[in-house]
Amino acid sequence: MSKVEDFLSAKEEQEIIAAIRTAERNTSGEIRVHIEDHTDADTFDRALEVFHLLKMDNTRLRNGVLIYVAVADKSFVICGDKGINDVVPCDFWDSTRDVMRTQFQHGNFKQGLIDGVLKAGLELQTHFPWDANTHEDELPNEISRG
């Protein structure tokens, strides 16, 4: 098995998807998780590439957020789209990153992703409140794998 398959069981994956649904109840923002083994590129550059490949830059308010994890590299990046970056300070994701990093350091990958997803949803809520009139689930909640 590759590291990616070891990283999360099917059951754990379902729990993370449930967290994405919960997080998206608070905000019009769209959160996705992408997991792959390794990248030769700079982690942030690769995250931006995946962001584009997943068509996450196609949301109405440009408020998609990708949590990208390179398992073997032991690295992860949280990256938001233009609509978010235009209105938040550049340390906006630091608290989300920190809760994830703490769990990852203890080997709690599933909980790190769940905490990260929920925290990202709460952070987004202030700037992108959930709107019942216009809200639709614009991006799939499934975890993608590289």
Which residues ranging from 16 to 55 are in contact with Ca ion (CB under 5 A)?
30
Calpha distance 140→142 (Å, rounded): 6
By CB under 5 A, tell whether 79 contacts Ca ion.
no
* 119 φ, ψ (degrees, to nearest 5): -65, -45
Closest contact distance (angstroms) between CB of 101 and Ca ion is: 24
How far lies 114's CA from each of 12, 24, 69, 82, 87, in Å? 10, 13, 13, 24, 25
Closest contact distance (angstroms) between CB of 65 and Ca ion is: 10
Nearest to 65 by CA among 78, 76, 52, 55: 78
By CB under 5 A, tell whether 139 contacts Ca ion.
yes
Piece of the chain touching Ca ion by CB under 5 A; list 90-98, 103-111, 120-128, 135-143: 135-143
The total of other beta-carbon atoms located within 10 Å of residue 115's CB is 19
Among 64, 120, 141, 143, binds Ca ion (CB under 5 A): 141
By CB under 5 A, tell whether 137 contacts Ca ion.
yes
Footprint of Ca ion (CB under 5 A): 30, 137, 139, 141
